Amino acid sequence: MAAAGAALAPIIENRLLLPPNAGRIRCSSSARGALVVRGAALSEESRKNRSSALKAVAVKGEAPNLTTAKSGHEILLFDALREGLEEEMARDPTVCVIGEDVGHYGGSYKVTKGLAEKFGDLRVLDTPICENSFTGMGIGAAMTGLRTVVEGMNMGFLLLAYNQISNNAGMLHYTSGGQFKIPIVIRGPGGVGKQLGAEHSQRLESYFQSVPGLQMVACSTPYNAKGLMKAAIRSDNPVILYEHVLLYNLKERIPDEEYVLCLEEAELVRPGKDVTILTYSRMRHFVLQAAKTLVERGYDPEIIDIRSLKPFDLFTIGNSIKKTHKVLIVEECMRTGGIGASLRAAIVDNFWDFLDGRPECLSSQDVPTPYAATLEDATVVQPAQIVVKVEQMCQGLV
């Protein structure tokens, strides 16, 4: 972590905007317990490879340090989540899973496959279809210290549990003057899928972001999925972990050794100097696709996967904006009231003096997601639109 601070020190000018522990990101998750912790900044090695990194499509600043090509293991995202969950359940007997068809069925997206056989029916509890009540039950259990992981089969179903999540999970630590903590993880797939219909294509990060007391993170790769799952379980705060329904089969090589990520950190996916692109979840992959075209055309975008939707990692984001002076947010939320809307406000509030133009934002249309394929594609941002926008920004056309 100290190395991270040293690497960034020359770029930071306005020391008022540094967090209290200058040069270090203060993580609430107990990353201290892990063997290996990854920071968000560039490691010495990748700084040396900067010039070749610029030519690459995406250099993961936070890529696992694999010395040989064959270390680590290849895994699909749903399996990485399962690995993280299984490791935490083996490590801490108070971790339990509550949800529909998580036990005997193995989870509708296989995230809890095999866990009921290993840990028993009480620790991996199959519930009836009553989201409001079993989420409430998870919160009640968490109030006494159990670390519950509540799965919504689809994030949209958790709307039925909104009261529980907002009033009971989010606010209790405050209203009790700090006497109770709610170490709950609420997770599930959300986002626009492949023709799942309006009710099953919702982006709940828009709705929950206003609730004080909640933390929200979104995973986008097997590496950060496992790390964030572990961090969320170890956190003493209520954390909502947003998975995406179309990312479960992403494959990546992740380290064999244990690692936990910091919940409040953003991930520098590709360093650059022309424009800062802030994104998360599925849109990260669309941005990377657009970046291929942009790099060919000579642009140098800096891509940051913000990962932490609440609170924003303004430290990483701010340092990037101070470098590029232009920011584009690419999100899957709708235009009105989404993560992009809040992020733009935060950027304007904090980094106004460093911006050359207004913060730009590409979001989904303010429509219920239609079923028809062509209409659904028109609802969300597509890579071609990202390319056009970045070009306009870099040419000063917006």
Partner 1 sequence: MTRSTVGSLARRLFASQPRQAAAAQAPDAINVEIPVPFQLHLLQEGPARESVTSREELVKMYRDMFRIRRMEITADKLFKSQLVRGFCHLYDGQEAVTIGMEAALTYEDTVITAYRDHATFLGRGGTVHECFAELMGRSTGCARGKGGSMHLYKPSNNFYGGWGIVGTTGPLGAGLAFANKYEKKNNVAMAIYGDGAGNQGQLFEAKNMAGLWDLPLIFLVENNHYGMGTAEWRASKKTTFYDRVSYIPGIKVDGMDAFAVKEATRFAKEHCLSGKGPIVLEADTYRYHGHSMSDPGSTYRTRNEIQGVRQERDPIERIKKLMIKENVMREEEFKAVDKEIKQEVDDAAAKAKDDPNPGEEELFMNIYKNDSGLKTYGCDRNMVRVQLP
Catalytic residue ranges: 131, 200
Q: Is 381 in the site for partner 1 (CB under 8 A)?
A: yes
Q: Is 362 in the site for partner 1 (CB under 8 A)?
A: yes
Binding segment for partner 1 among 24-32, 157-165, 166-174, 345-353 (CB under 8 A)?
157-165
In the chain, DSSP finds a helix count (H) and a strand count (E) of 15, 14
Q: Give the C-alpha separation, 262 to 164, whole Å.
A: 26
Please state the separation of Cα 153 from the chain's center in Å. Answer: 18
Binding segment for partner 1 among 90-98, 203-211, 350-358, 366-374 (CB under 8 A)?
366-374
Closest approach, Cβ 277 to partner 1, in A, equals: 14
Q: Is 163 in the site for partner 1 (CB under 8 A)?
A: no
Closest approach, Cβ 129 to partner 1, in A, equals: 5
Say how many residues make up the chain: 398
Q: Give the C-alpha separation, 249 to 239, whole Å.
A: 23
User: Residue 49 belongs to what H/E stretch?
Assistant: none
Among the listed residues 114, 197, 311, 357, the single contact to partner 1 using CB under 8 A: 197
Closest approach, Cβ 285 to partner 1, in A, equals: 17
Q: Helix 222-234 crosses helix 77-91 at what angle (to 10 degrees)?
A: 30
Which is closer to partner 1, CB of 75 or CB of 381?
A: 381
Q: Is 132 in the site for partner 1 (CB under 8 A)?
A: yes
Q: Is 375 in the site for partner 1 (CB under 8 A)?
A: yes
Closest approach, Cβ 34 to partner 1, in A, equals: 34
Closest CA to 271 of 66, 46, 39, 65: 46
Closest approach, Cβ 133 to partner 1, in A, equals: 6
Q: Give the C-alpha separation, 309 to 304, whole Å.
A: 13
- The residue written with tokens 């968000």 in the block is 40
Query: Which two structure tokens, joined as six digits, stand for 350?
Result: 């904090």
Q: Is 358 in the site for partner 1 (CB under 8 A)?
A: no
Under a CB-based contact definition with an 8 Å cutoff, are residues 96 and 145 in contact? no
Closest CA to 223 of 250, 245, 203: 250
- Single-letter residue type at 135: T
Which is closer to partner 1, CB of 196 or CB of 347?
A: 196
Q: Where are the beta strands (DSSP E) in 194-323?
A: 215-218, 239-244, 251-254, 267-270, 275-279, 301-305, 308-310
Which is closer to partner 1, CB of 136 or CB of 183?
A: 136
Q: Is 373 in the site for partner 1 (CB under 8 A)?
A: yes
Helix (H, G, I), strand (E, B), or coil: what is residue 312?
coil
Q: Is 101 in the site for partner 1 (CB under 8 A)?
A: yes
Among the listed residues 360, 383, 387, 394, the single contact to partner 1 using CB under 8 A: 360
Closest approach, Cβ 305 to partner 1, in A, equals: 19
Q: Give the C-alpha separation, 284 to 270, whole Å.
A: 11
- Single-letter residue type at 104: H
Among the listed residues 48, 104, 118, 358, the single contact to partner 1 using CB under 8 A: 104
Which residues 177-196 are close enough to bind partner 1 by CB under 8 A?
193-196
Give me the 198-227 binding string for partner 1, x by CB under 8 A, dash otherwise. xxx---------------------------
Query: Which two structure tokens, joined as six digits, stand for 325?
Result: 């002076």
Q: Is 160 in the site for partner 1 (CB under 8 A)?
A: yes
Q: Where are the beta strands (DSSP E) in 50-173?
A: 73-76, 95-99, 124-126, 147-151
Closest CA to 333 of 162, 216, 167, 168: 216
Closest approach, Cβ 380 to partner 1, in A, equals: 8
Residues that bind partner 1 (CB under 8 A): 100-101, 104-106, 108, 126-130, 132-133, 156-157, 159-160, 193-200, 335, 360-368, 370-375, 378-381, 385, 389, 398
